[in-house]
Amino acid sequence: MKKNFKIATFIYLILLGTTLGSVVFAGSVVAVVVFNTQDVFNSTLLSHFQEGQIMSAIFIKLRVLVDICVVYIALYEGYKYKMFERDKLTTMATFVAIATGLMFGHYYMPDILTMQLAGEKMTQTQAFINTHKGSEIDFKLFAVALLVLMVQNMKKACK
């Protein structure tokens, strides 16, 4: 059983790292390029609305990875909790990662997509701006929670 748990831990750490890397890359590199296409092409080929649609398509795909990660976090950390292998920081990070991961994919994304389907005017409303800002904050909290889980579990794995 101990060998299987080490394999599960190894897979968990890779999944956390992959998801964290994807989240950071999407937010800090992809979004910067997509929302600045005029700098890439030296002209305005896409409107801000169209750039937002591209980012949504990217985040729809990223949502699948986030959902897989959330399920694995719940199972892995739930098992560790049941085995009394827990600490407050990991428990808090687990809760934050699960809550923010689910909020990203199943609260913010559907709202943003629905507003985009309503048209460009809808994406200029205060409701859209607030929803988008909330999703950005949510995604940053998710990234921090993943980092905490990764560090905490790496420390325990190296003992």
pLDDT of residue 159 exceeding 80? no
61: alpha, beta or left? (left if phi > 0; alpha if psi -120 to 50):
alpha
Q: What is the DSSP letter of 122?
A: G
What pLDDT, on the 0 to 100 scale, is given for residue 2? 80
pLDDT of residue 63 exceeding 90? yes
Mean pLDDT of the chain: 93
Give the residue carrying structure tokens 């889980």.
Answer: 149
Q: Give the count of beta carbons closer than 10 Å to the beta carbon of residue 101.
A: 28
Share of the chain above pLDDT 90, in %: 79
> Domain locations in the chain?
2-157
128-138 pLDDT, tens digit per residue, is: 999 999 999 99
4-27 pLDDT, tens digit per residue, is: 888 999 999 999 999 999 999 999
